[in-house]
Amino acid sequence: MLLQMNQITKSYGTLTANSQVNFTLREGEIHALVGENGAGKTTLMRILYGMEQPTSGTIQMNGKTVAFSNPTDAIRHGIGMVHQHFMLFPSFTVAENIVIGNEPQVGVKFDRKKAALQVEVLCAKYKLPIDPLKKVADCPLGMQQRVEILKVLYQGADIIILDEPTGVLTPLEAKELLAIMKSLAAQGKSFIIITHKLHEVMEVADRITVLRDGKITGTLDAATTNVEELSRLMVGRELARTERNASNPGSTVLDVKGVTITGKKGKPVLDHVSFEVKAGEIVGIAGISGNGQSELLQSISGLTAIDQGEIRLLGNNVSGRSVREIRESGLSHIPEDRYQWGAAKEGTVLENGTMGHHRTNRRYGLLQGKTLRTMVAQFIQQFEIKAGSQETKVKFLSGGNLQKLIVAREIAQNKPFLIAAEPTRGVDIGAMELIHDELLKKRDEQGAILLVSSELTEILKLSDRILVMYEGRIVGELSASEATEEQISLWMAGGEARA
């Protein structure tokens, strides 16, 4: 056996994140680790990567007991990890990020030309093309994910831990990554993949270990299990099937006309974008990350100024208005980046859960603390948010639990228009079911929703109409009844519209 984690327990005070977990990995194996948010998956892998120390238990590699006091120790033993939240230097180039810690040199100086050449060779070898001289700050999320994967491959890891590796990839990119994993596994590389995407697990994994509340509920061969069994082991119950009623669109809530934003080099980031969202419908926007979706959402919500065009919300021109003014005009917003736009990491669960609500829950100018605490308690109960207390800082929550808090907060604003950007990014299958149901409930109550998701299955499942963005333009529109994954994927990749 290549790797054995024996009776691993990790406690934080009274909270036990892992309880007597046994986990094994074989050479050339792809082993998936699945479970709900807060089940202990990432904690277990942080222990393996030397980022955390177990309270008790041992790790063995090739039959020998090892201990990693930090990630450098793990890397020396051939273990690499790609984190869910990227650990890159935005001001550095792609090549500089990939070779950092093992830079090629000329004498005592860093040889940037050789680094770029090495990265080009690496990209070609693993069929992950990217410009080595491009700054990471200028790379969309999909490209940043690629940089992280290439960085681990450059380090020569034999065991590669991937935490939600396809979370920001298009369906085509995800399939390519899964194919790369299979190819590398055939060459002797071993993978541990943490993911909520059970269909990907079934496609790529050899074995699957399920965690619930820090304990293993099963380790199964992928060939002899199915998504339904994995779901039951993850959440402890049968999942209901989300049903979508026929839409009944009403009046126009959002009207975007000819919106244009010019980029740094004079090329439009948004190029005369026009569309509308009506009450009682979900309009989905599909597209590869970096094709203008982020800028579009930021312009609608007031975070970015537009150069041309007009944005109307409930008939009012909100172009150039402040974020607060636009929100008060009828907008709530689940942002695509929960840490940059959606939360104050040093703030508590209570403080983050009441953001936006604090303006309307006042009496004689004072916050109604009891009302707000009751509201946040309802969020925690309804969305099964795992947090020590309302006083816990959100930086200590798992990404999925923070996502659920933000979704609960924004839906509860009960505004006529909701931007839902990557609403289920990083959440488990049970929470995904709940969030989808809540979005459909809002739509059925005549709410207008603009959905942006890198999950094409989510777009197809929830949207009444689907728009596809490519290079800052809307290149196609389909109703839910006529949309196919093949056609949308073609437009997302810049292919021609069908005749």
Could you read off the pLDDT of 85-142 as tens digits, one per residue? 788 999 999 999 999 988 999 888 999 999 999 999 998 887 778 999 999 988 876 7
Distance, first Cα to last Cα, the chain: 55
For helices 399-411 and 369-382, the axis angle rounded to 10 degrees is 120
Tokens found for residue 24 = 């094994």
Quick one: CA dihedral 462, 466, 469, 474, positive or negative? negative
Sign of the CA dihedral with 358 first, then 364, 365, and 369 last: negative
pTM of the model: 0.68
Q: Quote the pLDDT of residue 466.
A: 96
Local structure of 324: helix, strand or coil: helix
Contact 233, 81 (CB under 8 A): no
Q: Calculate helix-pair angle for 399-411, 429-444, nearest 10 degrees.
A: 10
Q: In the structure, what pLDDT confidence band is assigned to residue 239 with cuts at 50, 70 and 90?
A: low
What's the mean pLDDT in 336-347?
A: 90
What's residue 240's pLDDT? 58
| CA–CA separation, 343 and 151 (whole Å) | 29
Neighbours of 324 (CB within 10 A): 11
- Those residues with Cβ within 8 angstroms of residue 135's Cβ, 6 or more apart along the chain or in another chain: 90, 91, 92, 93, 94
Q: Do 295 and 314 contact (CB within 8 A), yes or no?
A: no
Q: Could you give the domains of the chain?
A: 3-235 (3.40.50.300), 252-492 (3.40.50.300)
CB-based contact 99:115 (threshold 8 Å) = yes
Pick from 36, 119, 103: nearest CA to 399: 36
**CB of 418 within 8 A of CB of 450?**
yes
176, burial (CB in 10 Å: exposed 0-12, middle 13-18, buried 19+): middle
